[in-house]
């Protein structure tokens, strides 16, 4: 029979499903191994060719580990809450649960066609109430906990309450919001509401004011993703920054542990580095500057307290809480105007734009704590409210941003660390001798930092402080399609619903839009009240809530009593190998580590790092196309003419575009809001712009794997995706070269067949060459899999098959092992040949991986490249038995080499055995 991949693949996929071949047991004599993929968000566009890249790699690894004798847990599920489904619901009125189910079914079909060895009995969906009741349960634990900085862990809020009852909060060391001090008797005399308000300052899940992208026209908060250049992507309305009370999680309490934990996990350095930088630990001092004419002072955080005598002005974030109260009469209007201009900028814009320097004097002054000089207070949008204290002491001589600000506004620059030339630029290095600095003069930077902190602490106006860039995580979203937060309000105080009332199901609503007064969609739910009388919280959890602990649920996914049974948690323990995109480096991976540490603190887990080893697959990038909307209109201008207008670039679906030319009727049909679009064409055509960026539904550049499977089969797709290049490298999708991989599988098939495609295998002993070829491959494939270099394995398979073909080898002893070697990569063809070879169906998955025998590879000669001055000239085959001097003598006396020597005597001869000989003239 010819290689009929579609028959073979369907047959074995059905076999695996029917026989539960890959079902993992929660106990076994074999050692355990947990291989996890980052589960997908089931988008409406279906699985795209980028998703399987990591899944194929992890599947190869999982299958390899089974062959190596492990009990492998390899599950899959869906991260099924999220914005796209909600946006689709807003556009069509279709309930997101319906579209999500459709999408999941489609994903499942697509995944099944690729032949993964998932244990589907453990499948989870984060939007399933049976799953999210436990996400809600975890939220309740967060609400019921506080972070004790003495014990460095989360503890029950009941412990805190009893401390308050007995001692007040004087001795409590906690990661908490600001709280006034109170005694035990005061606490006991507080009414319920006061007590609850105080506790909210300590809870790990707490309410706080946070800045959000507010779009007045849409009456809703927008994701950064939905804001383009200060306008909403939907509709093009202006967006501003607004404070809003929202649920937050005190992840910052874990900053130090999240940092330290990185030393204990086997992740790549770049990912660890990104997390370290994200957490951003910095040591310095908090310094209070007394406001002149006010009772308050302004606290700044500085990593360079040594430069305090160079502080010539303070800069506050425009939204700093003191700005309005300290601004003097003359400056009120200017400050207001500046605040408004800052409010329309996103934080990212403010950070990236270093060229435009802007700011405004407030009219207020503070007193320098040591020199007593009058220092002006400015506001400037390069200072962010969310970092440190939202205020900096500006030391223009030794900080480049302060320097630029001072130059621009003509503020004094005082050099306090010798070593630079401040007439040209600031001198930011932490090296040099202090000058112009009173009691710090003559000290070096390090000594000065120590000394100034000592003085500040003695004077009670400052203290040494460790600051983290990591901020608490906002946990509320003004959205419908997310986990309801299991909280109700009584007298405006939040309370948890009883845990026996979980799950708190998402209520039905008439529309998936905010209410007319800008309340989140859940506020539309009719008669939705706890115990029939209390209002529920109407925000929902963010997309990352469910994904922060899903790896635990797989261990015991059907459990209705607990999020997972303790024995299962103990047995499967950490994820041994986690594969996913590096775009999750600081989001998902940090949140999941946070949840893990929290559950560990509460005693539910006996490990506090979720993912032992992490491999980041690169992205299969998409090639996106763009249309250019003229701002404030529904008109779109061709790429080549866009400079003549003020435009916003919007993604056009690549399925509406061919050769970068827009198919206008397809485009109009792609979205209701494009139905009446008008176009400014160039020579009758609409040219789209393009960019290589990640493949995602939101970028409308998705390519599906289905047609590739129909044409070439899943085994070809699997091998081709691996063949594309190193797993961790990003690359744009293209199908050049898929033919070669497919041809390889056909050749592989032919090794087991005669010219007429009859299965034909030879029982005789193989040749030495055939053994050599096989064992070269065994060594290579094993090494490659262990270091996740799957692309090089594919090449090695090709080389081996080419060699065996040349040798006309069809010996069972070789070909049996070859099937096993290939099976993790191309499991369907391998199963079929395994069956043809006469072995029992399904046993391939758990047979033993071939053992490498080095004796087949021993060489007695090596063809040495001979270099003259580092440039390779010729090759000489020389016995590997010979030692350095004998080889050199042989080489120098060789006629071919003599030609290059031109009678000269070499200055030096470099000899590296088995590698190279270099003659230096």
Partner RNA sequence: GCCUGGGUGGUGGAACUGGUAGACACGCAGGACUUAAAAUCCUGUGACCCUUAUCGGUCGUGCGGGUUCGAUUCCCGCCCCAGGUACCA
Shortest Å, Cβ 597 to RNA: 16
3-state SS, residue 767: coil
If the CB atoms of residues 443 and 649 are measured against RNA, the closer one turns out to be 649
If the CB atoms of residues 416 and 585 are measured against RNA, the closer one turns out to be 585
If the CB atoms of residues 544 and 563 are measured against RNA, the closer one turns out to be 544
Residue whose structure tokens are 């909403």: 232
If the CB atoms of residues 481 and 488 are measured against RNA, the closer one turns out to be 481
If the CB atoms of residues 463 and 787 are measured against RNA, the closer one turns out to be 787
* Cα Rg of the chain (Å, integer): 33
User: In this structure, what token pair is assigned to residue 872?
Assistant: 């390779």
Shortest Å, Cβ 807 to RNA: 12
If the CB atoms of residues 370 and 544 are measured against RNA, the closer one turns out to be 544
Shortest Å, Cβ 582 to RNA: 6
Gap between the Cα atoms of 616 and 57, Å rounded: 11
If the CB atoms of residues 683 and 877 are measured against RNA, the closer one turns out to be 877
Shortest Å, Cβ 697 to RNA: 8
Shortest Å, Cβ 569 to RNA: 24
Report residue 674: phi and psi, to 5°: -95, -5
User: In this structure, what token pair is assigned to residue 508?
Assistant: 């039905």
Residue whose structure tokens are 């409210």: 385
User: In this structure, what token pair is assigned to residue 155?
Assistant: 């503890």
Gap between the Cα atoms of 305 and 343, Å rounded: 30
Residue/partner pairs of 755-758 with CB below 8 Å, 24 or more apart: 757/1, 757/2
User: In this structure, what token pair is assigned to residue 490?
Assistant: 């009584």
The tally of CA atoms less than 13 A away on the side-chain side of residue 864 is: 28
User: In this structure, what token pair is assigned to residue 301?
Assistant: 């955080």
Q: Which helix (H) or strand (E) holds 717?
A: helix 714-723
Distances, alpha carbon 475 to alpha carbons 140, 157, 254, 563, in Å: 13, 20, 16, 20
If the CB atoms of residues 104 and 364 are measured against RNA, the closer one turns out to be 104
User: In this structure, what token pair is assigned to residue 258?
Assistant: 């999240």
Shortest Å, Cβ 164 to RNA: 30
End-to-end CA distance of the chain: 63
If the CB atoms of residues 104 and 569 are measured against RNA, the closer one turns out to be 104
Shortest Å, Cβ 899 to RNA: 9
3-state SS, residue 620: strand
Shortest Å, Cβ 801 to RNA: 8
Q: How many CB atoms are located within 10 Å of the residue 19 CB?
A: 12
If the CB atoms of residues 170 and 915 are measured against RNA, the closer one turns out to be 915
DSSP state at residue 837:
T
If the CB atoms of residues 278 and 771 are measured against RNA, the closer one turns out to be 278
If the CB atoms of residues 278 and 488 are measured against RNA, the closer one turns out to be 278
User: In this structure, what token pair is assigned to residue 700?
Assistant: 């409308």
DSSP letters, 60-129, are HHHHHHHHTT-EEE----B----HHHHHHHHHH---HHHHHHHHHHHHHHHHHHHT----GGG--BTTSH
3-state SS, residue 715: helix
If the CB atoms of residues 526 and 908 are measured against RNA, the closer one turns out to be 908
Gap between the Cα atoms of 471 and 386, Å rounded: 8
Shortest Å, Cβ 479 to RNA: 7
Shortest Å, Cβ 764 to RNA: 24
Strands (E), 539-643: 577-581, 614-617, 620-630, 635-637
Using DSSP bridges, classify how beta strands 731-732 and 620-630 pair: parallel, antiparallel or unpaired: parallel
Q: Which helix (H) or strand (E) holds 366?
A: strand 360-367
Shortest Å, Cβ 895 to RNA: 12
Gap between the Cα atoms of 493 and 887, Å rounded: 87
If the CB atoms of residues 613 and 694 are measured against RNA, the closer one turns out to be 694
Gap between the Cα atoms of 320 and 81, Å rounded: 35
With 0-12 CB in 10 A as exposed, 13-18 as middle and 19+ as buried, what is 786? exposed
Gap between the Cα atoms of 577 and 589, Å rounded: 13
If the CB atoms of residues 347 and 519 are measured against RNA, the closer one turns out to be 347
């Amino acid at each position: 029979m010819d290689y009929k991949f579609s028959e073979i693949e369907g047959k074995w996929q059905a076999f695996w499903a029917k026989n539960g071949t890959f079902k993992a047991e929660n106990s076994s004599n074999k050692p355990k191994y947990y291989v996890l993929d980052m589960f997908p968000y089931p988008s409406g566009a279906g699985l795209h060719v980028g998703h399987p890249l990591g899944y194929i790699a992890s599947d190869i690894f999982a299958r390899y580990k089974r062959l190596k004798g492990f009990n492998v847990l390899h599950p899959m599920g869906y991260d099924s809450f999220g914005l796209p489904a909600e946006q689709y619901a807003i556009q069509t009125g279709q309930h997101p649960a319906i579209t999500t189910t459709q999408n999941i079914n489609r994903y499942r079909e697509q995944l099944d066609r690729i032949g993964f060895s998932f244990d589907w009995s453990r499948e989870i969906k984060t939007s399933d109430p049976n799953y999210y009741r436990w996400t809600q349960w975890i939220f309740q634990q967060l609400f019921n906990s506080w972070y004790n900085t003495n014990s460095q862990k989360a503890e029950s809020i009941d412990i805190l309450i009893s401390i308050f009852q007995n001692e007040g909060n004087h001795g409590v060391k906690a990661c908490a919001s600001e709280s006034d001090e109170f005694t035990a008797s005061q606490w006991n005399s507080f009414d319920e509401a006061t007590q609850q308000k105080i506790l909210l300052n300590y809870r790990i899940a707490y309410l706080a004011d946070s800045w959000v992208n507010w779009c007045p026209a849409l009456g809703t908060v927008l994701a950064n993703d939905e804001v383009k250049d200060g306008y909403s992507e939907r509709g093009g309305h202006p967006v501003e920054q607004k404070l809003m009370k929202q649920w937050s999680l005190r992840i910052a309490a874990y900053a130090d542990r999240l940092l330290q934990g990185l030393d204990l996990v086997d992740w790549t350095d770049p990912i660890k580095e990104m997390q370290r930088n994200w957490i951003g630990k910095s040591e310095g001092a908090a310094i209070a500057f007394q406001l002149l004419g006010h009772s308050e002072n302004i606290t700044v955080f500085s990593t360079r307290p040594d430069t305090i005598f160079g502080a010539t002005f303070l800069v506050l974030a425009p939204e700093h809480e003191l700005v309005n109260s300290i601004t003097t009469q003359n400056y009120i209007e200017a400050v207001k105007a500046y605040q408004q201009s800052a409010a329309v900028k996103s934080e990212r814009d403010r950070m990236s734009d270093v060229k435009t320097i802007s700011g405004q004097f407030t009219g207020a002054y503070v007193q320098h704590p040591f020199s007593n000089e009058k220092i002006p207070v400015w506001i400037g949008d390069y200072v962010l409210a969310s970092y440190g204290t939202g205020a900096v002491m500006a030391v223009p001589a030794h900080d480049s941003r302060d320097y630029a600000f001072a130059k621009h506004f003509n503020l004094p620059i005082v050099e306090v660390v010798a070593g630079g030339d401040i007439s040209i630029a600031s001198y930011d290095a932490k090296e040099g001798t202090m000058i112009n600095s009173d009691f710090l003069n003559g000290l070096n930077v390090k000594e000065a930092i120590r000394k100034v902190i000592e003085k500040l602490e003695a004077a009670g106006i400052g203290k040494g402080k460790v600051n983290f860039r990591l901020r608490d995580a906002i946990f509320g979203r003004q959205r419908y399609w997310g986990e309801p937060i299991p909280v109700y309000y009584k007298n405006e105080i939040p309370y948890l619903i009883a845990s026996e009332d979980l799950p708190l199901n998402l209520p039905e609503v008439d529309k998936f839009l905010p209410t007319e007064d800008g309340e989140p969609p859940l506020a539309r739910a009719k008669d939705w009240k706890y115990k029939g009388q209390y209002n529920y919280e109407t925000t929902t959890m963010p997309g990352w809530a469910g994904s922060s602990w899903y790896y635990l649920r797989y261990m015991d996914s059907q459990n209705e009593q607990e999020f997972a049974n303790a024995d299962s948690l103990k047995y499967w323990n950490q994820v041994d190998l986690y594969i996913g995109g590096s775009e999750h480096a600081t989001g998902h991976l940090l949140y999941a580590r946070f949840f893990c540490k929290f559950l560990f603190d509460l005693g539910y887990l006996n490990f506090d790092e979720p993912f032992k080893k992490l491999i980041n697959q690169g992205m299969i990038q998409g090639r996106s196309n763009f249309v250019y909307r003229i701002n404030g209109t529904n008109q779109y201008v061709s790429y080549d003419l866009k400079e003549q207008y003020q435009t916003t670039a919007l993604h056009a679906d690549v399925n509406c575009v061919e050769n970068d030319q827009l198919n206008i009727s397809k485009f109009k049909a792609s979205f209701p809001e494009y139905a009446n679009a008008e176009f400014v064409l160039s020579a009758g055509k609409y040219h789209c712009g393009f960019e290589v960026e990640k493949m995602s539904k939101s970028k409308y550049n998705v390519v599906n794997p289905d047609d590739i499977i129909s044409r070439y089969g899943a085994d070809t797709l699997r091998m081709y995706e691996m063949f594309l290049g190193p797993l961790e490298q990003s690359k744009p999708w293209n199908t050049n070269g898929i033919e070669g991989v497919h041809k390889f599988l056909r050749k592989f098939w032919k090794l087991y067949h005669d010219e007429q495609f009859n299965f034909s295998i030879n029982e005789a002993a193989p040749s030495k060459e055939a053994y050599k070829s096989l064992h070269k491959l065994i060594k290579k494939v094993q090494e490659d899999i262990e270091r996740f270099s799957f692309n090089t394995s594919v090449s090695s398979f090709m080389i081996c098959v080419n060699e065996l073909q040349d040798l006309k080898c069809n010996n069972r002893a070789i070909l049996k092992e070859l099937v096993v070697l290939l099976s993790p990569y191309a499991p369907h063809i391998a199963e079929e040949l395994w069956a043809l070879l006469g072995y029992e169906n399904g046993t391939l998955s758990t047979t033993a991986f071939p053992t490498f025998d080095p004796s087949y590879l021993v060489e007695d000669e090596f063809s040495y490249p001979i270099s003259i001055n580092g440039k390779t000239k010729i090759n000489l085959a020389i016995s590997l038995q010979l030692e350095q001097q004998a080889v050199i003598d042989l080489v120098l006396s060789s006629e071919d080499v003599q030609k290059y020597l031109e009678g000269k005597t070499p200055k030096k001869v470099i000899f590296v055995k088995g590698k190279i000989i270099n003659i230096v003239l």
